[in-house]
Structure formats: structure tokens, C-alpha cells
Structure 1
Amino acid sequence: MERLGRAGRIIADIRLGADRLLEALFVAASAPPDSAQQQIERNEEVVAKEEVSMHRHFDDLRALARQLEESGVLNGALKARGNSWGLHMPLVCPDGAVVAYAWKRQLAGQAGASAVDRTRLALKAFTDQKRRFFPHLEDEVLNHLHDGESGIAKRPRMPAGNGELEEKTLSEILKNLENEVPNMKISTYRRLDWSKRASSLASLMDDDFVDPSKELNLQNMGKSRPGSVTTPIDQVAVIELLVPSIFRVVVSLHPAGSVDPDAVAFFSPTEGGSYLHARGLSVHHVFKHVTEHADKALQYFISVEPSKALSILLHWIADYQTLFTKLCR
């Protein structure tokens, strides 16, 4: 960006030098034929001085252009189109002067786009090299997920058969999960609808005691409520996974309607309130602990299989339905 600023200043100097050169030529042309020799020499000196200055500015601009080309701002693909700067014709004032700011603005835009592309390529190259020369690092990440501080930390793992998961739409993923895990209640919401749902749970739940019939009614209400049926699939931003008496999980999708999870949190089925969202924390230590490992698992699934991360994550969450009945493994 510092070089782009210098380019803008050099272009402005060229414009000013062109104005002074034209003015000197205009004065010389308008001088009477019988002008003094001293005046003629003065005009010639001004013209020569401005010419030298213009040559210097153009040389500086060429050198700066080479530096920008080496840094990737100006590339061969742009030069092949017949415009070495890769720019559209700059704006022109009524008096014919070029607006230097237009060049600077377009150069800055090109530099920003180039920086993003080069960063993306560098990250991909680094990931490929890491997998090629340090394959054991992938195993270490899995081991960190397996071997945590307590029994709960040992549970996170890739679900069996995840390599067979195919890229699917959101509706297909949820339908398959319902068939594979029939005792899990799955509901979908818009973000605002989920906020209302979480707030309504606060008035229906009691942290000290939950009547089993009330809990069952709440589950049925979540399954049969109008929002869960009529929410357009392209507007689904929150997925609620409820296993009776075990856990409630909130998964956030961004953007809405996509299969890209961006946050996940575990809660007790007896909890309710505005803090029940994908970036919230349960009031119970056990679910706080599980949420920490769920977040690590989510980031790992996204890094390994971005297009299948949601499907893998939901199957991984389903493993926790035996959280309080079987030993962690």
C-alpha cells in the first residue's frame, strides 16, 4: 500500500509537471517576435527543466511499476490484455487533465484482490505441504480430541464410516439423521424464531425439577410446532437436536440455508433462557466441558471435510446420547 501511495504521488507530480510545461510553451508561443533574447532563454530554460523533471518522474514510475509487478499487484494476465497497468482508462477532467486519484483507487483495489488471492494460495500450499511431509500431525489432532482431561474429553472422534458420507443438501442431511437416530428430536428455526423459542423455554423449565410429562409435552411441541414444519429450508439458520433427558444441542448455520456450521453448544434439556444459542454456555459444568470439545471437533471437521462438516458433526453429536449411561471410549 505504501508503494501504491507513492505511485499516486508520482502520477500527481507528472500531471503538475505537464501543466507547467504547457504553461511555459504557451508563454513562449504568445511572446512577441521582438522579445528580448534574455526572455527567450528563460523560457527555453524552463521548458528544458520541466522536461528533465518529467523524464525523472516517468523513470520513477516505471521502476515502481516493476516493483508492483514483482509483488503480484500487476501480473502477466493483466498485461496480456494490452494494458500493462491492468486498469480502465482513468477519469478525465474537462480541461483534459487526468485525475490521479482514479489511478490510485484502482491500483488499491487491484492490490487488495491480489493480496486475498495470494493469501488463499499460500494457505492451500501450506496445507498440502503439511499433509505431504507431516502426516503424523493429522493423527496428533485426533489424539488431542480423543485424550482430554477427563472421561468426557475422550469421547470426541470421527463417526464410523464418515468417509462414505456424500455431499448432500441440508434437507437430505436432516432427513437421514432422523432415520438413523430416531430417538433424537430435530427442529429447524430462523434466528429470530430460535430466540423466541429459547426465551419461551425459560418460562416452562425449572432448573431444580422438571416434570417428565412437561418435558415430553415440550418435546412434542418442538416437533409439531408450526415453525418447524413451515421454516423454508433456505432460511434455516439454527438446528436444535434434543435427546430426552440427555442433552439439547444448538447448531448455527452461516449463511442461513447452507450446510456450513459455524458454532455449536450443548445444554441440559432442563435449561431455558436467552443464553441458549450456538455461542452460549450451559450453567452446568458437564455441558460446558462437552461444548469445549464440540467446538474443537467442529473446527477439525471443517478443516478436513468442509463440504461434509455438518453431516459429520451431527453424527458426532449423536454419539453423546449415551453420555450418562456408558463409559467414555
Structure 2
Amino acid sequence: MMPQAQQTTSAVGALAVPQDPLESAGDATGEAPPKQVALAMERLTRAARVIADIRLGADRLLEALFMAADARDQSNSKAVELILKEETSMRQHFQDLRALGRQLEDSGVLNGSLKSRGNSWGLHMPLVCPDGAVVAYAWKRQLAGQAGASAVDRTRLALKAFTDQKRRFFPHLDDEVSGDGEIGTTKKRLNSQGLIMSQREEFREKKSLSDILKELEHEFPNARIFTYQRLDWLKRASLLSSSAIENSADPLKEHILNHSSNTRFGSVNVAAADQAAVIELLVPSVFRAVVSLHPAGSTNPDAVSFFATDEGGNHIHARGLSVHHVFRHVTEHADKALQYFVCVDNNLSLSLLLRWICSHQTLFSKTCSKCGRLLVMDKSLALLLPPVHRAYQETMATISSQTESTPPTKAVHPDHISAYHIGCSADDC
């Protein structure tokens, strides 16, 4: 009887996780990253379903154990059969999950080497969460953002290649387009490019976390910036409430300000910044943004989410979702922005991300750059929404223009970043 049961279990295991038709394609080194991303997202969806089955099976197994404890002699055999059935089902689910994990490792998604920043996927290892379903969701969210950022990056590189070819083979077109009729316009442009490049290289020098936050506070005085260790932020988020969301007399906030890893610049605590794992960026009455750094104290952003200033609860973290649709849309767009900044320049990714976040201080006041309206009806939600998309590609241009003509301490006005409604923005905005 037992050998037959083992053969049946192995047969079911072989059928539960069939061989992927794209398995060999995903493992090939020459495969296009978008295909690998799509394959990985499909596997993560299956993993999320298996994790849900495991959680339900655990509940049923506990229920069977309680029934066996309370059962009498005549019904004891029935309870034992139920326990054995649930135990077999749980074993099968775990085998399916192990097989999916091996497939994801083979495709390079869960490989430990992805912790380095030199990989072509541009992914970050998400923190291990106590709930397995949250881990699968975090991976899918990162992969979706990376897929959008990859498409934007490929379009940008194609446009740059076309522009370079045009300047190489048709240099006279630049002078004709300017229409100023002056001789030596191209030469002046080339001379100025050398100065701009040297200034840009100076701006790109590796900066510490405290330096980045110092500059950000000087540029955006309306934004309040705080840093926390992970446990401190969990305590902070659990105590947030609508009645005391911006109360400076919050005892925990004062404790973190004076003792732990809070950064409010007048006196910069460099040691605290070196241990910071969470950045809270608060614009009163507009939004609260939470940025996760991995590892702690680094300038490598790992995740970002937006929330209303009157929100409170345990869902306020870098991978959480707001209860308001406006900030849910902003968070979805922020995932793509994060992956884009990491792909463009990892050393500048945190600085670019924080400046792009600060451009949302006009979230409820800046009109759409395309239709010129402030509120537009979202037909799917039947809600009036403001322009929730900010063009993150323009953040790099803003920094470039800042290095050309403005001192580094001058505030960058948020109106420099274009704003779009969901229906007005292009896919690459």
C-alpha cells in the first residue's frame, strides 16, 4: 500500500509542475531580458498560488488535528484519514514550491549574485517578509517596474543613437535648425559641451547619504526628511494616526530625533545616517513617501511608496499600498521611476529618486502638461484624479541644467517636471 502511495505522490508531483516550454529560452544567455522578465513573472504568479494553497492547507491541517483531539474512538479513524490526506497535500505543495524556486534560480531571478549592482536585470533582492505571499508580490512589483523601465531605456538609447548619427553625418542641420545665421555655432556648442561634461562628472561623484539629504533639504525647504532604522520605522508606522500625523510633539518622533537615526539638518548625525535603512519624506498636507535602502546606510534605494499624510497603520512601509487611489497610482509610477534611475546611473539613483519624489509637492495644484486641466475623471474608478504621473526622465535633465547654470544650493522648482494624467501621459513618461 505504501509503495503505491509513494508512486502516486511522485506521479502527481511530476504533473503539478510541468516543464516550461520557455525553460531553455529563459536559461540561454542570449535571451532578451523582456522575455526573461515575462517568464519570471508567470512563475512568480504560480508561486503565489502555491503559497496560498500552503496557507489554506495549514489551516485545514490544524482543523484536522483539533478534530482528532476531540474525536471519540469511533470517529478517530476518520480524523486520522483526514490528517494523512492533508499531510500528503501539504507535501505536494512544498514540492511544487521547491521546483518553482529552482526554476527561478536557474533563470537568474533569485540568484544571490543579483545583490550586486553589475547585473543586467537591475533588480534588488527584496527583504524577507514573514508572509510568503508578500515576498512573491514584491518580486512581481519589481519585475513589472523593471519591464517598463527597460522599454523606456531602450527607446531613449535608440533616440540618442539616431541623434548622434545625425550630428555625425549631417552636422550642418544643427546650424540650420538654430536659424541664428551666426558662424561657428557648432564650435561654440562643442566648446561648451566640454565644460558641461566636466561639471556633470563632478556632480556624479559618489556622495554619502548625509550629503545627499543635506542637499535635498536645501533645495526643497518645504519637505521634511527623516531617517530611521527598520525597527524604529515599524514602531513609528504603527503609531501614526490621523489625529497626530503631523504633531511635532509625538514622543516617539522626538525620541528618534534626539537619540536614534533621525536626520534633521542643522546638526547632521553622520553615524546615524550610516545606519539609516528607511527615509521618510513628508510634505505637509500633500503626501508622505517612504524609501527603503538596502543595505542599511547605503545610497541604494530598494523600494518606494506614497501615502496620504493622514494615513496610519502597519501598511505604511516602502512596499505597502495606500488606501487612496491617488497614491496607489503614484506608487505604481514610482516603481518604474526607481528602476529607471538605477539603470541610468546607480551612483545617482537615490539623489534622482528623492528629487523626483519632491516634484510631487504640487500633486494637487499643478495642471496637466498636455490637457491643461487639474482634475480628470478616471472612468475605471469613477473618480476625479489630479495629474499623478511626473516625467521621471526630466529629473536627469533638471540636474544637468542645474550643473550648467545654477549653484547647487539653489532650489529646483517642481514646475520643471512635467505632470500628466493617466490618460494623457504616454507609456514612456
With the shorter chain as reference, the TM-score category is 0.3 to 0.5
- Looking at CA atoms only, which structure, 1 or 2, has the larger radius of gyration? 1
Higher normalized contact order (CA 8 Å, seq sep 6+, divided by chain length) = 1
TM-score by length of 2: 0.37
